Amino acid sequence: MSQRNTGVTREEFVEEACPIVEVLDHVAGKWAIGIIVAAARGPVRFTELERTVNGISRRMLTLTLRKLERDGLLHRTVYPTVPPKVEYSLTDIARELHESLSSLVDWAERHRGTIAAARRSYDGAAAS
């Protein structure tokens, strides 16, 4: 568990992880995960997302959608009907991402209680 057991320095190790943070930031936006989770079940329409993703505003939905589309995580299909119909679906790499996300989601579910307790304990100690 000590950093002295390997030939790679902590700096190199983190350096390696940094561009990832950049990529991850796109996914880590407040709404991106919700949208990916919602779209993971099948093509989904704009209004459907607006109702599904908790408290998102139309503006944020549009922005996040564009960001995910730009990064190649969402595929956008426009049906030239009237009124217009647009469906969003996950690309292959987004589907992969969704699987990786599951691991994180599991962790969050497993420790949600522990984390809440830690917070109460921390806040309680501060109030003493």
Partner DNA sequence: CTGGATCCAATTTGATACTG
Partner DNA sequence: CAGTATCAAATTGGATCCAG
Which partner from the list a copy of itself, DNA, none does 77 bind, CB cut-off 5 to 8 Å by kind?
A: none
Instruction: Restricting to residues 41-60, name those near DNA by CB under 7 A.
Output: 45-48, 55-60
101, two tokens: 């996300």
**Amino acid identity, residue 90?**
L
Smallest gap from Cβ 1 to DNA, in A, equals 20
Q: Does residue 93 interact with a copy of itself by CB under 8 A? A: yes
Closer residue to a copy of itself in complex, CB, 79/117: 117
Question: How far is residue 64's CA from residue 124's CA, in Å, rounded to a whole number?
Answer: 37
Task: Please report the sign of the dihedral spanned by the C-alpha atoms of residue 47, residue 48, residue 51, residue 54.
Answer: negative
Closest CA to 40 of 51, 52, 25, 29: 52
Q: Name the 3-class secondary structure at 84.
A: coil
Smallest gap from Cβ 95 to DNA, in A, equals 20
51, two tokens: 């109702």
**Amino acid identity, residue 26?**
H
Task: Please report the sign of the dihedral spanned by the C-alpha atoms of residue 108, residue 110, residue 115, residue 117.
Answer: positive
Q: In the complex, which residues of this chain contact a copy of itself (CB under 8 A)?
A: 1-4, 10-11, 13-14, 17-21, 23-25, 27-30, 33-34, 37-38, 41-42, 44, 48, 51-54, 69-72, 93, 96-97, 100-101, 103-112, 114-115, 117-119, 121-123
Q: In the complex, which residues of this chain contact DNA (CB under 7 A)?
A: 29-30, 45-48, 55-60, 62-63, 65-66, 76, 78, 83-87
